[in-house]
Amino acid sequence: MATAIRPRRSVLYMPGANKRALEKGRSLPADALILDLEDAVAPDAKLDARAAILEALGQGGYGARELIVRVNGLETEWGYGDITAMAVSGADGVLLPKVESADTVRKAAAILSSAGAPDDMSIWCMIETPMGVLRAESIAMSHPRVAGFVMGTSDLAKDLHCLHTPERLPFLTSLNHVILVARAFGLAALDGVHLNLADDEGFAAACAQGLELGFDGKTLIHPKTIALANETFGPSAAEIAESRKIIAAFEAAAADGAGLVVLEGKLVENLHVENARRILAMAEAIETLAIETEPEKAPA
């Protein structure tokens, strides 16, 4: 399921057992929400959390935000029930934890289909173990429902026995590999969370690095980080203006029959035009999302 142009600059985890958080999610400026049934929910609260998410999705009110439910693994007592319940919940997709094989994805896809999930319901895969990183390619091609990867850098650090450093050097091999696979198969890729909420400078640096590496956005654990993620991963005003210039210059040259385009001393090739069009499409999608998710105002 190659992903269309859709903003995923900020993707906020929300604990499924917290009804107040699920309600607050309707007004937050996040591009997407991950309604969590896994790590954020204690074992004795799993079924109540599932019911709360189903109720929240049934009530709606989330606008055009992308809604993904992180289910429990199929090896747990809740995984099958989670996937079955979410198949017709109205969620845009399910996020599978700790994916290490194509077979896991195919099993989840079969459950979704048998439970009546619509054809456009996506499967997202948490890549958070060394085996998951190494098998990213087979996971990517496992089923047409696969829409993207979500990095789980906390679990990955545990398995790698590595440290969380400001430059994230221990993760670069894994991050680069997952990005490479995602782009090869037309999938989205989301960077892992930044755990230290008091470290604003570190969070900003991690967002900038994630953008440089090629991620579509950042997964988040607190609403206060949404604005910076949106700013970092969204095209800037300068990028939008430059993109318009590139497209205009290229189209003008084509109309004149010129085979070479030079803009402000720089050669413009078709690859630059394609990237410029991608940037403008993303800017338009962000603007549309903002309009469609704006809370309705009470009549005066």
Tens of pLDDT, residues 105-134? 999 999 999 999 999 999 999 999 999 999
Q: How do strand 261-263 and strand 266-268 relate by DSSP bridges?
A: antiparallel
Sign of the torsion angle spanned by Cα atoms 148, 154, 157, 161 = negative
The residue whose two tokens read 């109205």 is: 90
- pLDDT band at 3, cuts 50/70/90? low
> What is the Cα–Cα distance from 104 to 99, expressed in whole angstroms?
7
Q: Do the Cβ atoms of 2 and 187 come closer than 8 Å?
A: yes
Do 283 and 181 share a structural domain?
A: no
Stated as kind and residue range, the H or E segment containing 231 is helix 226-233
Check residue 265 and give its pLDDT: 82
- pLDDT, tens digit (0-9, with 9 covering 90-100), for 276-299: 999 999 999 999 999 888 765 434
CA torsion 118-122-126-127 (nearest 10°) is 130
User: Can you spell out the DSSP letters for 280-297?
Assistant: HHHHHHHHHHHHHTSPPP
Do 142 and 77 share a structural domain?
A: yes
Number of domains in the chain: 2
Check residue 300 and give its pLDDT: 40
| CATH code for position 75 | 3.20.20.60
Average pLDDT over residues 166-192: 97
Do 156 and 208 share a structural domain?
A: yes
High-pLDDT (> 90) share of the chain, %:
87
Domain end marker among 209, 233, 257: 233
